[in-house]
Amino acid sequence: MCNIKVKNISKRFDDKLVLDNISFEIKERDIFGLIGPNGAGKSTLISIITGLLKANNGEVEIGGYSIKDEPLKAKELLGLVPQEIALMEQLSAYDNLEYFGAFYGLKGKVLKERIQEALEVTGLTDRKKEKVTKFSGGMKRRLNLAVAIMHRPKLLIMDEPTVGVDPQSRNYIFEFVKKINKENNTTVIYTSHYMEEVENLCNSIFILDLGKEIASGTKSSIKSMTSIHGSIKLTLEDPSEEFILRVKELEGVKDSFIKEEIINIFIDEGRFNLEDLLMLSMREKKKIKNLNVEEASLEEVFLSLTGKKLRD
Ligand SMILES: Nc1ncnc2c1ncn2[C@@H]1O[C@H](COP(=O)(O)OP(=O)(O)O)[C@@H](O)[C@H]1O
Ligand SMILES: [Mg+2]
């Protein structure tokens, strides 16, 4: 069991309120995306969830254990990949894993097995004898990830794991997250200021800006909070003005016109239902040659909710 409850968390540094009454719940086995621009309060929130930092207000529960009242039981369930890489630079990858594994209380045969497993899933087996100083940024990230999963945590928390990472390691990290979530039922909290990463990876999303909740929910429920548009391009064997009129009558369609044989449809994603369009084509006996749906991105959602871009 590893669901997470964050209840009314507030945090001040001196007089500055950096987290303002933040609440959410994460279901077991979810991949939860925490997004927001730099300075939003993501790392502060992660530190509070993992018990590294105390909140001024509110509570956190991990798998039913309060991080305040039963910190050891709660911490046993979690693995953290911090934003700042924490490794022993002068040791080899293998020795780092041995060191941190012992820190988690692993020893003997189990320790050896877990080191091997962690090296394999992060693709570092071939490089295990090399000193960390020789590693690229992406490899260091992967090793940091290997460290965080040695004790097979039920909850894996990753704070901006792809910053400064080459594309190959980046893909490795994505695939790894999907795999560990599916095969080990690991609940994941994934923090990023790259909207498109979170969009591809996460089931539920929480958007934070200047310590405040901007939006939370599934991707589609967040999108339905705004009136931003998606668009559809539809090619029919035999299009007609009559058909366009029918399309315009569908729920959630803002506008539709035909241009160079392609029917362009602008939609309000929260209200539009693709099935309605398919049913209409069938009823009108129009054969579909091509259909292309372009969703509005979370980046656009953030812009529409805050008036700001997520990145400069
Ligand atoms: N130890 C600290 N002392 C004072 N201010 C801090 C400290 N840590 C973070 N902050 C401030 O809190 C805010 C949120 O920071 P952070 O949680 O690191 O944001 P993010 O991870 O989203 O970039 C920022 O304004 C930052 O300057
Ligand atoms: Mg941060």
**Does the Cβ of 44 fall within 6 Å of ligand 1?**
yes
pLDDT of residue 309: 73
Q: According to DSSP H, which parts of the chain are helical?
A: 42-49, 71-76, 93-103, 108-121, 137-149, 167-183, 195-201, 219-223, 241-248, 274-283, 298-306
Are the beta carbons of 267 and 232 closer than 8 angstroms? yes
- Would the CB of 43 count as within 6 Å of ligand 1? yes
- Could you identify the atom of ligand 1 that is nearest to the CA of residue 40? 22
- What is the number of the ligand closest to the CA of 39? 1
CB atoms closer than 10 angstroms to residue 102 = 12
d(CA 168, CA 150): 22
Report the chain's C-alpha Rg in angstroms. 23
0.75 exceeded by pTM: yes
Mean pLDDT on 288-299: 88
Q: Which of 36-40, 128-132, 163-167 has the lowest mean pLDDT?
A: 163-167
Q: Are 262 and 233 in contact (CB under 8 A)?
A: yes
Indicate if ligand 1 lies below 6 Å from the C-beta of 9. Answer: no
Query: Does residue 14 carry a pLDDT above 70?
Result: yes
For tokens 């060191």, the residue is 99
The residue whose CB lies within 8 Å of the most ligand 1 atoms, and thus the one to mutate among 11, 12, 13, 53, is: 13
What share of the chain in percent tops pLDDT 90?
Answer: 66
Confirm or reject: Cβ of 103 under 6 Å from ligand 1. Answer: no
What's the rounded Cα separation, in Å, for the pair 79 and 34? 16
Closest ligand 1 atom to 160 CA: 21
Q: Could you tell me the two tokens for 23?
A: 């609440």
Q: Confidence band (pLDDT; 50, 70, 90) for 298?
A: confident
Pocket test for ligand 1, best of 34, 44, 191 (most atoms within 8 A of CB): 44
| pLDDT tens, position by position, 199-232 | 889 989 999 999 999 999 998 888 877 766 788 9
**pLDDT exceeds 70 at position 189:** yes
pLDDT recorded at residue 194? 87
- Is the shortest distance between the CB of 257 and ligand 1 below 6 Å? no
Atom number in ligand 1 closest to CA 83: 21
Residue nearest to atom 18 of ligand 1 (CA): 43
Say if residues 230 and 272 touch (Cβ distance below 8 Å).
yes
Ligand 2 centroid to 84 CA: how many Å?
9
Average pLDDT over residues 130-148: 92
Beta carbons within 8 Å of 249's beta carbon, 6+ residues apart: none
